[in-house]
Structure 1
Amino acid sequence: MRNQPAQSLQPLIGGILTALILLIAFNAFVIINPGQAGVLSILGKARDGALLEGIHFKPPLISAVDVYDVTVQKFEVPAQSSTKDLQDLSASFAINFRLDPIQVVDIRREQGTLQNVVSKVIAPQTQESFKIAAARRTVEEAITKRSELKEDFDNALNDRLEKYGIIVLDTSVVDLAFSPEFAKAVEDKQIAEQRAQRAVYVAQEASQQAQAEINRAKGKAEAQRLLAETLKAQGGELVLQKEAIEAWREGGARMPNVLVMGGESPGVPFLFNLKDVQGSVMQ
């Protein structure tokens, strides 16, 4: 009878031991998925050699595995600097990067988590890289030669982050801003340029009008010269005919019904209205 309780506990103890064995067995392996890399730590000390995708053994109960995402990460980092002409310039950069799977052990030892990588490495190195790029040019050059500014920034950032096991894939300038004083100066310059362009246009228009007046004067002078030559060739009588006709036009008289030219050669025209003559005859 005394052996019955002991015998009834044996299946329970066996089940517990089996569960413990299974738990330890499952805990002795870790699976690293694609896009991940692991760091094995035994009794709190990181072991050399990153765990890449696949299944890996780890000592149960005394070890742990820190898994890092090594796919592309994106963060926006603000930065401020002074340009070559001592103007304040601020920017915001979108940085696409990933952790080097081979160097995740060093990242684990030196930085710890991915959040620490961003706050303690990427953010300050972005600031320093922007200072290097901005100090090489004036604020106006930073705006007009934005691609060159970005190229200098990329080169500086790549050199600085590479030694931390961070691979920069791409960067983009999300925002580029300058001081209100410079913005006002740019606005004033644009207004002055517009006014200067307007003044050039007005001057060109006046020059064209003056040239047109000169051309008209030349044409009128040429016409008068030709007229003078014609009158000279015909004697002086054509001058009298022309002056008589112009005098009649300027006086506002009605168009005459009859124009009589005296003599065989042209002379001074004799103008009269045929209706007036007819009226005198009928009387």
Structure 2
Amino acid sequence: MKNKRARAGIIAGVIVVALLALGISATTVVPAGHSGVVVTMGRVQKTALDEGLHFKLPFVQQIILMNNKIQKTEVASNSVSKDLQTVSSSVAINFHITKDAASDIYQNIGEQYADTVLQPAIQESVKAVTAQYTAEEMITKRSAVGDEIGQALSDKVSEYGILIDKFNIINFDFSEEFNAAIEQKQVAEQNKLRAETEKEQQIIEAEAAAKQKVIAAEAEAEATLKKAEAEAAANEKINASLSDGVLRYQQIEKWDGKYPNVVSSDSGILVTIPDQGNTGTTESGNGN
């Protein structure tokens, strides 16, 4: 009797476990940021499951989780520039797959789609774009080169349901010879710019000095003109103030008290005036 009860208990336990296992196998949970690809007896359904709890056929259907979150990959690539310089580049890509494309990607590419499709497309895009630019242009137009590579990559992988969210060039490396040539060119340009700056400064200083001389000369000429005008005005005033009486008075003031020995008159008579203190003689004649 006891053995029968024990067997019954065991059977009941097995049934309960089986029911629990069946219940668990009949449900599945698709976590956030994922799509559930339904595989029924090896056949992939076109529509993937959304996030959340879903029911499935136990032991018949399998749910494959595909990541729809933004993922990141970094790739090193070697290429050749337009001027045949070797370019070693390192790029970083943010990408994700769409929910609608999850089933097709799993069926046609597999879960390793990043290695199967994305990586080769990155290499091809980098090489195709860098071949259109010289090495120097890749340095000076780095942002434009990055945008062009990103667009080329997006065009290649979008048909698979892989979307490129962001493309960045981490680094461009060139040969040592090219780096040395670029450095020499930069030094030469800096020296040229410095020489041009110094020349312009000298020209500015020379022009300033010449302008200063012109200003000084003009000021001196103006001062001389004003002085001459002042002297002329003063002489004019003096001449206007002089009369015959004043002139005779000035002559008397300047006379030393001595008469000249000989004076003439309008009649032609010569008169000899004796020295002061002596008796002199006066001669006159009419020219005969």
Q: Are the equivalent residues in 1 in contact too, given 2:147–2:167 (CA < 8 A)?
A: no
Aligned residue number for residue 11 of structure 2: 13
Aligned counterpart, 1:274: none
| Amino acid across the alignment from 2:118 | I
Deviation per CA, 1:116-157: give whole Å up to 9, x if none: 222222211111111222122211111111221122112111
Describe the shift of the 1:24–1:198 C-alpha distance in structure 2 as closer, same or farther (beyond 3 A).
same
Taking a change above 3 Å as real, the CA distance of residues 12 and 197 of structure 1, as seen in their structure-2 partners, is same
Deviation, structure 1 residue 16 = 0.3
Report whether the alignment pairs 1:80 with 2:75.
no
CA drift of 1:99 comes to 1.2
User: What is the TM-score when the length of structure 1 is the normalising length?
Assistant: 0.69
In structure 2, what is the equivalent of residue 124 of structure 1? 120
Q: What TM-score does the superposition give when structure 2 sets the normalisation length?
A: 0.68
Residue in structure 2 matched with residue 142 of structure 1 by the alignment? 138
User: How far apart, CA to CA, are the structure 1 residues paired with 2:166 and 2:212?
Assistant: 66
CA offsets 1:154-202 (integer angstroms, 9 cap, x no match): 2111111111211111122222222222211110101111222233244
Amino acid at match of 1:175: N
Change (3 A) 1:28 1:200: same
Larger radius of gyration: 2
Provide the C-alpha distance between the structure 2 equivalents of 1:220 and 1:6, rounded to a whole number of angstroms: 133
- Aligned residue in 1 for 2:151: 155
- 1:90 maps to a residue whose letter is S
Which residue of structure 2 aligns with residue 170 of structure 1? 166
Structure 2: runs of 5+ lacking an equivalent: 226-288
CA RMSD of aligned residues (A): 3.1
- State the alpha-carbon separation in 1 of the partners of residues 134 and 123 from structure 2: 18
With over 3 angstroms needed to count, the CA separation of the structure-2 counterparts of 1:165 and 1:220, relative to structure 1, is closer
Deviates more, 1:89-98 or 1:202-211: 202-211
User: Which range moved further: 70-79 or 210-219?
Assistant: 210-219
Match of 1:186 among 170, 175, 182: 182
Residue in 2 aligned with 1:23?
Answer: 21
Amino acid at match of 2:134: T
1:31-70 residue pairs with structure 2 within 5 A? Answer: 31-70=29-68
After the TM superposition, list the runs of 4 or more consecutive aligned residues in structure 1 that deviate by more than 6 angstroms.
212-226
Aligned partners of 2:212 and 2:58: how far apart in 1? 107
SS in 2 for 1:163: helix
SS of the aligned residue for 1:112 comes to coil
Structure 1 residues 87 and 17: alpha-carbon distance in aligned structure 2, compared to 1, 3 A threshold: same
SS of 1:52's partner is coil
Q: Structure 1 residues 213, 20: CA separation in 2 closer, same or farther (over 3 Å shift)?
A: closer
Aligned pairs (5 A) from 1:87-106: 87-106=85-104
Q: What letter is aligned with 2:144?
A: E
The unaligned stretches of length 5 or more in structure 1 are 230-283
- Equivalent residue pairs, number: 228
Q: Equivalent residue of 2:160, what SS?
A: coil
Secondary structure, counterpart of 1:85 in structure 2: coil
Percent pairwise identity: 33
Find the counterpart in structure 2 of residue 109 from structure 1: 107
